[in-house]
Every structure is written in structure tokens, then in C-alpha cells.
Amino acid sequence: MNIYNSCLIDNSFYLTGSNSVIQQQKRHMRHRQHVLLQFMKNPNVPVDVWPDAYWPENPVPVSKQVWKVAIEEFENELEEMIEIVNHPDSDLLEVHGNGKTLSWAVMTTFHHNAYTIGQIKAIGRQLGVW
């Protein structure tokens, strides 16, 4: 069970009292990961790897299904990153036109995801559910 599926408490798709915060954190994390994955897939195509922070206006998921699909998409994109890193032809240290490397993108994703998951976990602890 991953941290997001453990958010499905009491047959709900969010933690009571923090639904907006956890949904916002998850969408924020996925957006950042998606941007960095696009750079990794096409490093020679100009991509703004540091866009303004993305915080969704509507923090509440439409349904459990939307929540679950978003989790699956996040996990699939993370797997794509891992596949790129593990591919023998990937040059993780090649500096691209924007001055960034694939290694930089992976480490930035790792750090950002870890930090955001920590924030989600702290919310759950404050609510006494984890």
C-alpha cells in the first residue's frame, strides 16, 4: 500500500479535515514530476524546467475514481523516469541546451517528491491517522 492509497480512510478519498491540503500536495507533486519527465524524454526540446509553482485552484478531487487515476498516472510517470535512468543508452551526465542533465532531473524529482510526501505524512500525523 502506498501513501496515497492509505489516504483512502473510512471509505473516503481524503482525510477528514485535510482533503484540500492532501489533494493539492499530490497534484503539485505530480505536476513537477511531469515537467521533469518531459525534459528527460526530450532533453533537446526547450522545456521550462522551473515553471512557477503549480497549486490547483480546486483542491478537492471530483471522485474516488479521479483520485485513483491520478495516483496511477503519477506512479506510471515515475516508472517512466526509472526506465530512462536504467536504459543503457541514457547519458545521465550530458549537459543539455538548458544547462541541465538527466541526473539533475532525477535528483530534483526525488528530492521534491520526498519532501512533498513528508508534508502529506505530517498532515496525517497531525490528524492522528498515521
Domain ranges of the chain: 5-52+60-127
Model pLDDT for residues 63-106, shown as the tens digit of each residue:
778 888 888 999 999 999 999 999 999 999 999 998 999 999 99
Give the pTM: 0.80
List all residues 6 or more positions away from 128 whose beta carbon is below 8 Å from its beta carbon: none
Q: Of 121 and 61, which is predicted with more confidence?
A: 121
Is 27 strand, coil or helix?
helix
Sorted by sequence, the CB contacts under 8 Å of residue 33 that are 6+ apart come out as 74, 77, 78, 81, 109, 112, 113
Confidence bin at 19 (pLDDT 50/70/90) = low
